[in-house]
Amino acid sequence: MKPVIVVHGGAGRIFKEQEKACRSGVVRAVLRGYGILKRGGTALDAVEEAVRSMEDDPHFNAGCGSVLNEKGEVEMDAIIMDGKNLASGAVSAVKCVANPIKIARLVMEKTKHVLLTDQGAHLFAQAMGVPEIPEEKLITERSQERWKKNLEPDSNPEEFQKDLGTVGAVALDSEGNVACATSTGGLSNKLIGRVGDTACIGSGGYADNYSGAASTTGHGESIMKVVLARLILYHMEQGH
């Protein structure tokens, strides 16, 4: 089967001066993921690699470049899912790691659970030998500026939520297996402990060999209302 990978760097507004960097970020991610597929690798490895690449890229709202919560901290959510057996792993409100998607994968493969949050995710990551990094390494000038602007009395937080998007990827490998991965810093100036759609199976992503794979981006609280990723696959199953 001919392998396929599709990635997104969010569906938010992209400022002119960021356009080139954002474009090369998604191209780099897709090439890394596709490289794995071309060598006969799995859809799961391909989506993880593509998302890692965008987590490492400060132009996206995931990993380095994540938006900040109300206290000016980075709290990230991520999910990965294997369409072959419906196995999935996710983390929410994780701090001080470069690649939340890696921990999501470890949750899937090394635990009996599907979602670990905050401190529990942190302890698990430590136990798995995932290196901790200083929070400053995840914070960009742009995310700090956005956070400060949102604190101003006349700010329009709705406007700022349009600026940046979550990252994600879906892939089909030569064996006919599909997978999805999604990663985000969430919403600007969100409440501490807010968990968005990205960490929730069926909302931030879903993969099922029977129907396909989806990775979502946008306003998490709206996405969760309709369990969007699963809803998309439902419509695909119906042939829509």
Ligand X SMILES: NC(=O)C[C@H](N)C(=O)O
Residues 30-69 that bind ligand X (CB under 6 A): 61
| Nearest CB to ligand X, comparing residues 53 and 66 | 66
Task: Point out the residue whose Cβ comes nearest to ligand X.
Answer: 220
Is 166 a residue of the active site?
A: yes
Show the binding pattern over residues 148-167: x = contacts ligand X (CB under 6 A), - = does not.
-----------------xx-
Q: How far is the CB of 184 from ligand X (least distance, A)?
A: 5
Element housing 171 (H / E): strand 167-172
The span from the CA of 159 to the CA of 18, in Å, is: 17
Give me the count of residues in the chain. Answer: 240
Closer to ligand X at the Cβ: 41 or 168? 168
| Window 164-183: residues binding ligand X (CB under 6 A) | 165-166
Annotated catalytic residue, options 166, 182, 198, 216:
166
Q: How far is the CB of 74 from ligand X (least distance, A)?
A: 13
User: Strands 87-94 and 76-82, how do they pair?
Assistant: antiparallel
Name the nearest CA neighbour of 104 among 179, 172, 4. Answer: 179
Would you count residue 220 as binding ligand X (CB under 6 A)? yes
Instruction: Kindly determine how many residues on this chain lie close enough to bind ligand X according to the rule CB under 6 A.
Output: 14
Q: How far is the CB of 95 from ligand X (least distance, A)?
A: 15
100 binds ligand X (CB under 6 A): no
Exposure b/e, 80-107, CB count within 10 A at least 16 = b: bbbbbeeebbbbbbbbbbbbbbbbbbbb
What one-character DSSP code corresponds to residue 55? H
Among 64, 76, 96, 187, binds ligand X (CB under 6 A): 187
The interface mask with ligand X, positions 191-210, x = CB under 6 A, is -----xxx------------
d(CA 220, CA 199): 10
Q: Does 125 bind ligand X (CB under 6 A)?
A: no
Nearest to 101 by CA among 223, 204, 228, 27: 204
> Which residue, among 54, 66, 136, 52, has the nearest Cα to 99 in the 3D structure?
52
Assess 218 for contact with ligand X (CB under 6 A). Answer: yes
Active site residues: 166
Residues within the interface to ligand X (CB under 6 A): 10, 61, 165-166, 184, 186-187, 196-198, 217-220
